[in-house]
Amino acid sequence: MLEPKLKVALDYQKCHAEKCGEGTCAALLECPLNLWRQEGSYDLPYVIPGFCQDCGIYVEACPLNAIRML
C-alpha cells in the first residue's frame, strides 16, 4: 500500500508550542480542514498526511516560521 505524500514540513527545531497562545499551535487553530493535531497543550504539533489541500494558511499562521510547503 502506498503512503500518502506529505505536502507540508514542520521544522521541529524552530517549533516551540509554548510561544503560541496557551501552548496551542497557531496552525492547528487556522487549518480549515482541521488536519493539524497536538496530543496536549505545549506538545509538538503534527499534520495528518494525505488530506492537505495545499491552501498554505498554516504557513502564514505560524509565528515562528517553522512550517513550509513541500
Using the predicted structure, report yes or no on whether residue 9 has a pLDDT greater than 70. Answer: yes
Domain region containing 49:
8-69
The whole-model pTM stands at: 0.79
Q: Is residue 1 part of a domain?
A: no
Mean pLDDT of 44-53: 84
Q: What is the pLDDT of residues 23-39, one digit of tens each?
A: 999 988 999 989 889 99
Domain of 14, CATH number, reads 3.30.70.20
Record the cell numbers describing residue 12, joined without a space: 521541529
pLDDT at residue 5 in the model: 66
**Please, is 54 exposed, middle or buried when counting C-beta atoms within 10 Å of its C-beta (0-12, 13-18, 19+)?**
exposed
